[in-house]
């Protein structure tokens, strides 16, 4: 795992997690095509439009009820006040009008119950809608991934794809769950409250609206100020994470050279930097809330003072002041959140855009509807005038012609690793060729069903891929529905049975996430067992034995020789010992096939291969070895 | 989670200060409705406009005071939570740096990295949120009750009764949703894992035609996650409405009982209005609290993972009275050593006895899993053995200080790990105060000088993280130079020539021979051609010694060795 990928992963997770979080100042990512993306995202909601309609309606109703209730409550207060004033003035028959108040309170109670029930309904239904949309989206993305060519995966960091499928979709999910309904209720509340406030006192409403820009300006200033510290924090965190990653991966070397203290000292250095920019960022973002609060309080004071004066002049009722105070609170909430909601929506649309970008990637060439299937493969392969390159600038393969008979072994050798996997990519049709044809048993691979084509091959790749699960499951991956007996037989054939049995739980040993509980060589043995179990017509051994030492290699070679009988095999290896029996050797350098022929032919030619071969043993070595023989 | 709060200890005064400031701020916030009630009860009833204005001024002053408190609270809490993160990070990192390999193997490097980085960030975020917003709820409750009681003790009973009901309601919802949130987190991790595996294994999946299988696997995880997410959100859907309902009914209660008290006790309407606002403020702070509490499950998963790391104590420690130097410099001896990895059924090495002397080359050859690398790792005491003893310089390694022991050793590991920095930095890693001359000399012997001088900045060329801009062979040669510059008594080569082509390999060995003439050299190798030169070859087979001797002796006496040799001679026959 390289640092860049890790820090990507880390910063990815740092964004909004579950959506319940409080407002935070996060650098906002901007969407490129805001409208288009929203439209497309809405498309996912279309199939659930009835449920959404219900959500909208319930949101509307619950908001309207909650807007009406302060005004009604104010009526009770006003009546109370009038009664008290009457008593104060000593009017006859003065007293509290309990009947009226009870009446009002009953109405209020009813409204509250309605409002809460609708609000519950709204969230309840939205839970189903939002999560199912996200489920669909994840599924669609995953299916899309399975249709993308390998070119796509080879040119991208896994962390980036992961972050799109997990973090970005998670982001969309929480926005749908929370922010979407919040947006609706905010807008309705804002409009409703303004109407109610205007009906009470246009003057006070105007005052409240006038102090609003203050909060916008303040947020703007502070956000701009804090951005620097946040960037500094992000940078320090990235540096810190990089250091941790490097030190932990190099733990052996650190220990061996006794550098623990130095590593800790450097860590402390970066940690201090992180602290310095961290607390500043936290402080500045932390004062936004109190500032907003203060502005709201100014509004509150204005309402109290102006309201009080107006009441004394009989312009409004005392209950209206109480109602207005509630409205001011309801009013400021969406306003205060506006910036936050805007950020959330921006980043959600940016997330959606990244997900859609992935969904729009060019897929593998579609399968010919009349694609053929080879039922009993022989494993004869031909390359005719095959042309291929990864990019237009450098041509890799030009007019390559190979003719491989059933059961032959082709060795691919060369000093650099790059380029040798190219043949695998072409054979398995992981990449499309630019010209010519590759045929298997006389059928062009472009006319074969992909699934069928790949089932003809068994391969052991350079990077051993095992998934977290039992060893048994990992071997059984080679063929669906294989029996216990077959699995053990395959393990034995790959000389893996012995080490598996020394593990604490034998075949039931669960490989951990990094499969770090077994050695590299053992991993390779497992992948060999998996290939053996698959029992394919054609074998591809990609440096199959590079991590296994010579003695084990001999054992594996014996097994492989047995396995290779009757099968066509391509062996990619550094080791010349493995190419000795090859019927044909392809010599690759800088990704190009530069020589081909048998071992003796190539030696006689005295070219690149001969050089490579001769450099393996110095004269001294050969003399010594002669003596041994 | 709670355990980690002990890291707040150095900041405990600041924490108390934050609490105090937030309490003051809450009081200021609550004092505003009190002042408002004065406007109503005195100003309005008497029609005293100057009084109203004066009180309004006082309110502004109180509000400003509250803001000042909030500012100071934000300042302290920012320092506290950033400091918390700093201390925790530092602790975890230095703790892990002292881990032996036993602990590294147990948790896994990648997991340790996330625990030190992401998990701590996660926990720190929660601490920030707690200090910033969550502590407000109890402060508001206390302040609100004080204010209410001082206004009218009897009427405040409504609020005092409602708070526990509200807390109980929050508890009812949260206690159901928290476990679900935890489960959801696990399921999200699972989905992450499945996806990551299907990305890293893309070639294998396609080659084995298991696309559909992977899709089923992903779909299962996806469906599972969605199910839990729906459930948890449905439970959470009840939270807000229920709280609002309780809040609103308590206001109805305040108005009703307030009217009665206005009638009988003659309290003021303004007081009633103040009460309504106290209730609103208290309850809103509780609502905020309950919204934030869902952040805790994610953080507590992280906290548990961090605690797991902190709970691990390095199994290898220096004994209290260490011996410093042995008499026989560079001399390595294994006496009937048996070693097994933790939890393994069978020992990896059993009954190993041999000695390696200064001026000699000892080669160790053997099959996969035969324990070659393990054997090498026992010498710098990366692991402690089960029985027997390993002597370095005549002293048992367990009696030597670890740093002293490792100072005698130059290890060249199988995987050449380099660090960010220049080439010279990396070579100096072996010896911090090495002169330029020493660095150059080491690079020359390691056959690295050619490619170093080929680089634009020579020794000052910067190596990218993980040495990505170098080839495997170049990295290996730098790793060798790094050990050489140390001029150790003992060289341990753990299959360190594997990425070199044979020509360089031969040149390097010739140069090394002169350099290491007085040192003890132990080489793990797979190539017979390397082992042939050794003064002593130790043949390992399944954790036991199958033979010791020089090449000629072993050819005669050791079957395992003959097998190895013959496998490599295949190449020779054709030539």
Is the Cβ pair A294, B63 closer than 8 Å? yes
d(CA B294, CA B31): 31
**pLDDT value of position A607:** 79
Residues paired with residue A510 on neighbouring β-strands, in sequence order: A470
- How many CA atoms within 13 Å lie on the side-chain side of A488? 8
Question: What phi and psi, each to the nearest 5 degrees, are found at residue B337?
Answer: -80, 130
Cα A375–chain centre separation: 39
pLDDT tens-place string over residues B222-273: 999 999 999 988 988 888 899 889 989 999 999 999 999 888 887 888 888 8
Which CATH superfamily groups domain B318-408+490-575? P-loop containing nucleotide triphosphate hydrolases (3.40.50.300)
Asked if B72 has any chain A CB less than 8 Å from its own CB, the reply is no
Cα B198–chain centre separation: 25
Nearest CB neighbour to A105, from listed B252, B291, B563: B252
- The string of DSSP letters for B198-213 reads HHHTHHHHHHTT-HHH
Identify the residue with better confidence: B522 or A364: B522
- Token pair for B469: 């801009």
Cβ atoms of B281 and B29 within 8 Å: the answer is: yes
Residue of A nearest to B471 (CA): A416
**pLDDT value of position A188:** 87
Which range has the top average pLDDT, A104-113, A123-132, B138-147? A104-113
Q: Which residues, in sequence order, are CB contacts of A470 under 8 Å at separation 6+?
A: A507, A508, A509, A510, A511
Nearest CB neighbour to A252, from listed B63, B417, B465: B417
Asked if residue B88 has pLDDT above 90, the reply is: yes
| Structural domains of chain A, with CATH | 7-17+28-359 (1.20.1560.10), 381-456+536-628 (3.40.50.300), 469-534 (no CATH)
Nearest CB neighbour to A615, from listed B25, B45, B501: B501
Query: What average pLDDT does chain B have?
Result: 85
**Mutation choice for B interface testing from A76, A251, A311 by most B CBs within 10 A:** A251
pLDDT tens-place string over residues A155-192: 777 777 887 888 788 888 888 877 777 888 888 888 89
Q: Which string of b and e fits A107-130 if b means at least 16 CB within 10 Å?
A: bbeebbebbbbbbbbbbbbbbbbb
- Give A615's pLDDT tier (boundaries 50, 70, 90): low
Axis crossing angle, helix A260-286 with helix B49-97, rounded to the nearest 10: 170
A135 to chain B: which residues are within 8 Å by CB?
222-223, 226
Residue B570: CB atoms within 10 Å = 16
Asked if residue A406 has pLDDT above 70, the reply is: yes
To the question of pTM greater than 0.90 for the whole model, the response is no
Asked if residue A19 has pLDDT above 50, the reply is: no
**pLDDT value of position A501:** 82
Asked if residue B286 has pLDDT above 90, the reply is: no
Is the Cβ pair B79, A166 closer than 8 Å? no
Asked if A395 has any chain B CB less than 8 Å from its own CB, the reply is no
Structural Rg of chain B based on CA atoms:
36
Look up tokens 């005064």; give the residue. B13
Question: Do strands A397-404 and A443-444 pair parallel, antiparallel, or not at all (unpaired)?
Answer: unpaired
Cβ atoms of B365 and B312 within 8 Å: the answer is: no
**pLDDT value of position A10:** 31
Domain pair B2-311 / B318-408+490-575, same fold: no
Asked if B67 has any chain A CB less than 8 Å from its own CB, the reply is yes
Is the Cβ pair A240, B117 closer than 8 Å? yes
**pLDDT value of position B329:** 80
CB-neighbour burial class of residue A569 (10 A; exposed 0-12, middle 13-18, buried 19+): buried
d(CA A455, CA A463): 20
Question: What phi and psi, each to the nearest 5 degrees, are found at residue A431?
Answer: -125, 150
Which range has the top average pLDDT, A105-114, A178-187, A331-340, B172-181? A105-114
Identify the residue with better confidence: A394 or A290: A290
Listed in order, strand segments (DSSP E) in A340-492 are 381-388, 397-404, 409-413, 435-440, 443-444, 457-460
Listed in order, strand segments (DSSP E) in B274-386 are 332-339, 349-356, 361-366
Domains of chain B, by residue range, sit at 2-311, 318-408+490-575, 417-487
pLDDT tens-place string over residues B258-267: 999 888 887 8
- B189-214 mean pLDDT: 81
**pLDDT value of position A248:** 87
**pLDDT value of position B502:** 64
Residue B3: CB atoms within 10 Å = 12
Identify the residue with better confidence: A180 or A268: A268
Is the Cβ pair B109, A516 closer than 8 Å? yes
Cβ atoms of A602 and A609 within 8 Å: the answer is: yes
Three-class SS of residue A486? helix
Asked if residue B319 has pLDDT above 80, the reply is: no
Mean pLDDT lowest for which of A21-30, A210-219, A522-531? Answer: A21-30
Mean pLDDT lowest for which of A135-149, A177-191, A323-337, B556-570? Answer: B556-570
pLDDT tens-place string over residues B122-173: 899 889 888 888 888 889 888 988 988 988 888 888 888 888 898 898 888 8
CATH 3.40.50.300, applies to B417-487: yes
A480 to chain B: which residues are within 8 Å by CB?
210, 213
Mean pLDDT lowest for which of A97-106, A620-629, B365-374? Answer: A620-629
Regarding the domain delimited by B2-311, which CATH topology (the fold level of the hierarchy) does it fall under? ABC transporter transmembrane region fold (1.20.1560)
Q: What is the side-by-side order of every strand in the sheet holding B409-412?
A: B409-412, B490-494, B520-525, B361-366, B536-541, B544-549
Q: B393, B384, B388: which is closest to B337 by C-alpha?
A: B388
Asked if A316 has any chain B CB less than 8 Å from its own CB, the reply is no
d(CA A346, CA A395): 43
């Amino acid at each position: 795992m390289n640092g860049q990928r890790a820090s990507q992963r880390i910063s990815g997770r740092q964004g909004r997690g579950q959506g319940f979080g409080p407002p935070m100042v996060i650098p906002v990512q901007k969407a490129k095509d805001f409208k288009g993306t929203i439209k497309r995202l809405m498309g996912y909601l279309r199939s659930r439009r009835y449920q959404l309609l219900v959500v909208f309606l319930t949101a509307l109703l619950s908001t309207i009820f909650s807007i009406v209730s302060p005004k009604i409550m104010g009526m009770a207060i006003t009546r109370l006040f009038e009664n008290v004033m009457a008593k104060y003035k000593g009017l006859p028959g003065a007293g509290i009008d309990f009947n009226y108040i009870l009446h009002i309170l009953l109405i209020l109670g009813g409204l509250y119950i309605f409002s809460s029930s609708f609000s519950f309904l709204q969230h309840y239904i939205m839970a189903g809608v939002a999560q199912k949309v996200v489920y669909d989206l994840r599924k669609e993305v995953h299916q899309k991934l399975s249709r993308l060519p390998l070119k796509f995966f080879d040119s991208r960091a896994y962390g980036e794809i992961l972050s799109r499928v997990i973090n970005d979709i998670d982001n969309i999910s929480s926005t749908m769950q929370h922010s979407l309904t919040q947006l609706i209720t905010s807008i309705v509340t804002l409009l409703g409250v303004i109407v109610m406030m205007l009906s009470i006192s246009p003057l006070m409403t105007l005052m409240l609206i006038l102090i609003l820009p203050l909060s916008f300006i303040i947020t703007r200033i502070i956000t701009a100020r804090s951005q620097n510290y946040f960037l500094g924090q992000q940078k320090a965190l990235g540096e810190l994470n990089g250091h941790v990653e490097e030190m932990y991966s190099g733990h052996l070397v650190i220990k061996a050279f006794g550098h623990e203290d130095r590593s800790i000292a450097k860590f402390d250095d970066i940690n201090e930097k992180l602290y310095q920019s961290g607390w500043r960022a936290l402080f500045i973002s932390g004062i936004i809330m109190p500032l907003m609060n203060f502005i709201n309080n100014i509004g509150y004071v204005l309402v109290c003072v102006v309201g009080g004066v107006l009441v004394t002049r009989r312009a409004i009722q005392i209950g209206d002041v109480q109602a207005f105070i509630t409205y001011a609170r309801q009013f400021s909430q969406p306003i205060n959140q506006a910036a936050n909601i805007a950020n959330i929506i921006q980043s959600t649309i940016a997330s959606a855009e990244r997900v859609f970008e992935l969904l729009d990637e060019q897929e593998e060439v579609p399968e010919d509807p009349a694609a053929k299937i080879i039922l009993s493969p022989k494993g004869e392969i031909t390359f005719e005038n095959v042309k291929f390159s990864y990019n237009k600038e450098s041509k890799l393969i030009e007019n390559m012609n190979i003719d491989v008979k059933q059961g032959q072994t082709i060795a691919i050798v060369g000093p650099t690793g790059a380029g040798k996997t190219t043949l695998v990519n072409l054979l398995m049709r992981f990449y499309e060729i630019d010209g010519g044809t590759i045929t298997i048993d006389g059928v062009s691979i472009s006319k074969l069903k992909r699934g069928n084509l790949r089932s003809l091959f068994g391969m052991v790749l350079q990077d051993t891929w095992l998934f977290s699960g039992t060893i048994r499951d990992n071997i059984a991956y080679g063929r669906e529905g294989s029996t216990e007996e077959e699995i053990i037989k395959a393990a034995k054939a790959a000389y893996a049975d012995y080490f598996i049995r020394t593990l604490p739980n034998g075949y039931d040993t669960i490989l951990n996430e990094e499969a770090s509980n077994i050695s590299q060589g053992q991993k390779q043995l497992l992948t060999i067992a998996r290939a053996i179990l698959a029992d394919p017509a054609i074998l591809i051994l990609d440096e199959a034995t590079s991590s296994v030492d010579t003695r084990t290699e001999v054992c594996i070679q014996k097994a492989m020789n047995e396995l290779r009988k009757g099968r066509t095999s391509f062996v990619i290896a550094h080791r010349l010992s493995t190419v000795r029996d090859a019927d044909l050797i392809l010599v690759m350098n800088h990704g190009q096939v530069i020589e081909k022929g048998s071992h003796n032919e190539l030696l006689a030619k005295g070219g690149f291969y001969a050089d490579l071969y001769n450099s393996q043993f110095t004269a001294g070595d050969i003399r010594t070895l002669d003596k041994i023989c | 989670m709670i355990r980690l709060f002990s890291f707040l200890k150095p900041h405990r005064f600041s924490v108390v200060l934050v609490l105090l400031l937030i309490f003051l701020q809450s009081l200021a916030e609550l004092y505003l409705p009190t002042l408002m009630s004065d406007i109503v009860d005195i100003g309005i009833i008497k029609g005293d406009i100057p009084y109203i204005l004066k009180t309004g001024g006082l309110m502004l002053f109180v509000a400003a005071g509250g803001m000042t408190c909030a500012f100071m609270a934000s300042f302290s809490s920012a320092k506290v939570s950033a400091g918390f993160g700093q201390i925790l990070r530092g602790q975890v990192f230095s703790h892990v740096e002292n881990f032996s390999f036993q602990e590294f193997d147990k948790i896994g490097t990648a997991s340790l990295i996330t625990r030190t980085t992401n998990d701590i960030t996660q926990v720190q975020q929660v601490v920030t949120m707690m200090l910033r917003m969550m502590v407000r709820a109890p402060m508001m409750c206390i302040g609100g009750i004080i204010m209410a009681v001082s206004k009218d003790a009897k009427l405040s009973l409504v609020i005092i009764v409602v708070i526990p009901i509200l807390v109980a309601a929050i508890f009812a919802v949260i206690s159901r949703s928290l476990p679900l949130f935890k489960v959801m987190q696990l399921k999200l991790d699972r989905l992450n894992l499945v996806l990551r595996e299907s990305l890293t294994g893309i070639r294998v999946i396609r080659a084995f035609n298991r696309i559909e299988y992977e899709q089923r696997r992903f779909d299962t995880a996806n469906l599972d996650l969605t199910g839990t997410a729906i459930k948890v959100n449905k439970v959470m859907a009840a939270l807000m409405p229920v709280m609002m309902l309780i809040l609103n009914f308590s206001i109805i209660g305040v108005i009703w009982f307030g009217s009665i008290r206005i009638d009988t006790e003659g309290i003021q309407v303004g007081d009633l209005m103040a009460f309504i606002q106290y209730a609103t403020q208290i309850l809103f702070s509780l609502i905020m609290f309950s919204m934030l509490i869902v952040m805790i499950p994610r953080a507590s998963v992280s906290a548990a993972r961090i605690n797991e790391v902190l709970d691990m104590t390095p199994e290898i420690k220096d004994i209290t009275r260490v011996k410093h130097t042995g008499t026989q410099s560079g001399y390595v001896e294994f006496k009937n050593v048996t070693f097994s990895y933790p939890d393994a059924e069978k020992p990896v090495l059993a009954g190993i006895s041999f000695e390696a002397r200064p001026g000699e080359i000892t080669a160790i050859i053997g099959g996969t899993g035969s324990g070659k690398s393990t054997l090498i790792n026992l010498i710098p005491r990366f692991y402690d053995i089960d029985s027997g003893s390993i002597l370095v310089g005549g002293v048992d390694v367990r009696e030597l200080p670890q740093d002293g022991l490792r100072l005698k050793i130059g290890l060249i590991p199988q995987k050449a790990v380099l660090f960010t920095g220049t080439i010279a930095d990396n070579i100096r890693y072996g010896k911090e105060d090495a002169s330029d001359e020493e660095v150059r000399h080491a690079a020359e012997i390691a056959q690295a000088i050619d490619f170093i001088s080929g680089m634009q900045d020579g020794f000052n060329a910067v190596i990218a993280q993980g040495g990505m801009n170098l080839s495997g062979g170049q990295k290996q040669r730098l790793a060798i130079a790094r050990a050489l510059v140390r001029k150790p008594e003992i060289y341990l080569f753990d299959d360190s020539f594997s990425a070199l082509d044979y020509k360089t390999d031969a040149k390097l060995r010739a140069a090394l021979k002169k350099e290491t003439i007085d040192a003890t050299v132990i080489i793990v190798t797979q190539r017979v051609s390397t082992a042939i030169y050794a003064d002593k070859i130790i043949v390992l087979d399944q954790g036991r010694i199958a033979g010791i001797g020089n090449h000629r002796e072993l050819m005669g006496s050791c079957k395992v060795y003959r097998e190895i040799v013959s496998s490599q001679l295949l190449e020779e026959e054709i030539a």
